[in-house]
Amino acid sequence: MNDLSLPSSPGIRQGDASLNPKSQPEPASVISVRGLQLRYGDLVALRDVNLEIPSSQVTAVVGPSGCGKSSFLSCLNRLTDLIPSCRAEGRIRFDDVPDLLHPKVDLLELRRRVGMVFQKPNPFPLSIRRNFELPLREHGVPKDEIPGRMESTLREVGLWKEVADRLNSGAQLLSGGQQQRLCIARALALKPDVILFDEPCSALDPMSSGIVEEHIAALKDRVTVVIVTHNLAQAHRIADRLAVFWVRDGAGTLIEDGPARRVFESPRDPDAALYLRGAKG
Ligand SMILES: Nc1ncnc2c1ncn2[C@@H]1O[C@H](COP(=O)(O)OP(=O)(O)OP(=O)(O)O)[C@@H](O)[C@H]1O
Ligand SMILES: [Mg+2]
């Protein structure tokens, strides 16, 4: 296996606490971002971003509109490749893939392992069942495994009882909150290591938003979650880690990151402090 391939069983490295036995072991990073720069043509959307994303935790990405949060997420599963003017430089290690930005990385496998859920629920305009069959077949999952994966992930997002007797009806007939949970279940059915969420609750009513949020928070037992949110109360409720982006010298910049509680309670960057108090941004 060459060093750019994406094996299906990840071997996540643990942080080495032996250098400082009194400290808590560092959580293992599943994604490590170094010197990331992203341009759209001449516009520098992200400059010199360095961030560790620990596995089995929820990392919330916050900051004012236009500071590059969605662009950052898009780098992590190479959706940036779909935009012709977009160029990403730097180094992103993902588990045992040393350079996720390398042109030879298998994008189908990368996007299986790093799933994405968008702001607006985007079920295929097909039946609920076909929403699972289509991506699972594309990724080579044997036909007889599909019903089991569909049921277990629909159960995981609390949707099974609501849809078990209507699997052949249109996914787009579901409510917005149900559609979003379907999209989460569809991503989970591919057994990803990481799921990226870009403002997954902002198009939902408060009740549905609360339900989706609870399910996202519960996911970290089995996947790493990176979530962009404008809702600081939501970040406060579900995040283990917080990353605050800002526009500095015309480019999106990571101005602070760390354990969510520490960053919320005693931010070191003055802009981050004002933003987190809701006074700026
Ligand atoms: N496809 C694109 N082509 C050109 N410029 C883009 C493109 N997508 C984003 N940008 C620019 O990159 C910068 C960062 O945008 P991005 O969407 O990542 O910000 P954001 O933090 O997600 O904002 P919001 O909170 O409004 O979603 C902005 O200046 C934006 O105009
Ligand atoms: Mg965005």
**pLDDT per residue rounded down to tens, the chain (281 residues):** 334 444 443 333 443 334 444 556 666 899 999 999 999 999 999 999 999 999 999 999 999 999 999 999 999 999 999 999 999 999 999 999 999 999 999 999 999 999 999 999 999 999 999 999 999 999 999 999 999 999 999 999 999 999 999 999 999 999 999 999 999 999 999 999 999 999 999 999 999 999 999 999 999 989 999 999 999 999 999 999 999 999 999 999 999 999 999 999 999 999 999 999 986 66
38, 43, 80, 86: which to mutate for ligand 1, most atoms within 8 A of CB?
Answer: 43
Q: At what angle do helices 128-138 and 146-156 cross, to 10 degrees?
A: 120
Amino acid 221: pLDDT: 87
Question: How close are the terminal C-alpha atoms of the chain, in Å?
Answer: 46
* Residue 252 alpha carbon to ligand 1 centre in Å: 9
CATH of the domain spanning 29-122+194-276 = 3.40.50.300
Which is the closest atom of ligand 1 to the Cα of 67? 21
Amino acid 28: pLDDT: 86
* Residue 67 alpha carbon to ligand 1 centre in Å: 7
Query: Length of the chain in residues, anyone?
Result: 281
Amino acid 280: pLDDT: 63
Q: Measuring from each residue's beta carbon to the nearest atom of ligand 1, which residues come in under 6 Å?
A: 40, 43, 45, 65-71, 83, 85, 252
* Residue 21 alpha carbon to ligand 2 centre in Å: 40
Amino acid 5: pLDDT: 44
Q: What is the pTM assigned to this prediction? A: 0.91
Closest residue CA from atom 2 of ligand 1: 40
Amino acid 24: pLDDT: 60
* Residue 255 alpha carbon to ligand 2 centre in Å: 17
Count, in order, helices (H) and strands (E) of the chain.
10, 9
CA distance 136 to 238: 29
Amino acid 10: pLDDT: 38
CA distance 42 to 86: 9
Closest residue CA from atom 30 of ligand 1: 66
Amino acid 147: pLDDT: 98
Closest residue CA from atom 24 of ligand 1: 65
Contact 190, 163 (CB under 8 A): no
> Quick one: DSSP state of residue 24?
P
Which is the closest atom of ligand 1 to the Cα of 64? 25
Long-range contacts of 201-205, Cβ-Cβ distance < 8 Å, separation of 24 or more: 201/229, 201/231, 201/234, 202/119, 202/229, 202/230, 202/231, 203/119, 203/120, 203/121, 203/176, 204/176, 204/177, 204/180, 205/176, 205/177
For the chain, the domains span 29-122+194-276
Closest residue CA from atom 9 of ligand 1: 71
Both tokens of 202, joined, read 């902002």
Amino acid 278: pLDDT: 80
